[in-house]
Chain A
Amino acid sequence: MRGSEAIGEAAVRAGCACYFGYPITPQNELTEYMARRMMDTGRVFLQSESEIAAINMALGAASTGARVMTSSSSPGISLKQEGISFIAAMELPCVIVNIVRGGPGLGNIAPAQSDYFQATRGGGHGDYRTIVLAPASVQELYDLTRKSFELADEYRTPVLVLADGMLGQMMEPVVFNDKEILPEQLPDKPWTVKGAKDRPSRFIRSLLLDVDVEEEQNWRLYRKYQRIERREIRHEEYYMKGAELAIVAYGTAARIAKAAVKRCVEKNMRVGLIRPISLWPFPYEHIYKTAETVKHFMSFEMSTGQMVEDVQLGVKGRAEVLMYGRPGGVVPTPAELFRVISRAYNKIAREK
């Protein structure tokens, strides 16, 4: 199954009732897949006039309690930030897929990881966070998209799936190890605006003119984010036992890193990989604990270095943090990364 189709199919099987999108490469396969599948299943597919309209349609549809999704790629995600901030403020569940491409500006359509800051720091205006999941295989695109809908509902918050054109285009086998839910089988949500039938009227807003009320709302969101930080951190380890150098990489970069690390291990180098699966919340605590014994870290990213700041925050000065990045849509080979890791590893060994 193709990556973009795995995302689409996960959404359909999660009971996603509405999809809104606007064409942008390299995520069109997902929009096209949703157009076919949503039509087949009698659900809502709408090609909007802009990304701004799409995210606001998603906002409106989410307010009825329906599971909703929108997708785009980097420049389009920038346009959606207005709506994402409102969705976070209004505490509506919504799944947003970003098939990241090279930037800034129009950049290019090649795989990149340069939207890390935007994704993990809220992205739009105001004091908020979005859950960010970073799949690294087609199976994970499926599983984590499905999980996104559940997290969005559970915490009433926007959830971002961060992938790139390489994952989107990749073909891998997928197992649907979950139960399909139809939109009408989802439980009713007690906060929706669908018309005040047999109950008092409700409203959903984000304007809180009284600073004390807005402050309390900010703290309330903060406490929710703390809850998420306690419960929703996901990561994977690869050859970390006895490692002296820990590579930290996510998504496509983690796939490359896995191959490079494997080669290192075959050459008897003590190198391992930590792969954050949730980018927010980030596995700070785990990295901190690891830094007790592992004294060298290397963040490997398809950017000039964004996640490296989180690695540093995790390490808290306990270990050295190196960085290797290739921005602009360049996808380095495992051989290239192997050379980089070897050099670093040998230097560490010499200095010991």
Chain B
Amino acid sequence: MIIVGEKINTSRRNIAEAVERRDHSYVAEVAREQAEAGAHYIDVNAGACLEQEAECLCWLVETVQSEVDLPLCLDSPNPRALSEAMKHHRGEPMINSISLEAERFQPLLPVVTSQPCHVVALCMGETAMPTTVEDRVEVGAELINRLTDAGIPLEKIYVDPLVKPVSVDTQMGIATLGAIARIMNDFPGVNTICGLSNISFGLPERRLINHSFLALCLSYGLSAVILDPTDKKLMATLLAVEMLLNRDEYCDNFITAYEARRISDG
């Protein structure tokens, strides 16, 4: 299970303000916390910087990698911001994300094939968002084929089935889950990834919903997840569910985490 730490995102006010004043130690601290909590990649997103996105993203890459020795997940729909950020990145980044949208696929393909990297393939179609499991699988399959044709190994592709809120349509949970299962089944060796917060948009008790969604995604075969690793309860759920799915020999990870007081405070 690959964990991408989501906290360094300028859609969060404290991060946006820290980026604006170029507060190295604040951002470095948030990166360090996530690394210590078990993140394998640190996501960085400077979308709220608008026209300054590329510059801000580069600053985030340098700041985070000066503090932690981890690869980053470069989170932007902007090809220029991504290619600039990749030049500053040490090691192999994850690019979040490419999709079939007309204004995204063509400009981003050379970016993701310019150097070794992992690629998140978002199931967004050319003209519309997917509705059903079938829509998602169709777009996902197309993306996988185009990316592998372009030389990207299957294991470095992370298909994001696109999570929509259940508040708007109560079928959106199972639409995502069904897509995860189908993609993992149809393309053995590929990865799937998603974030948790979209599912609960527009409802109260979002934490509860997100945590429950994580458990379901894992049981349907999700292999990577974008979340807040400093959320102790969330990580505890992840460990418990992995163990329940027979992915924790002798329950070792769970017990070790318990003994290190990472499962609960008591």
Do these two chains interact?
no
Residues of B in contact with A (beta carbons under 8 Å apart): none
Residues of A in contact with B (beta carbons under 8 Å apart): none
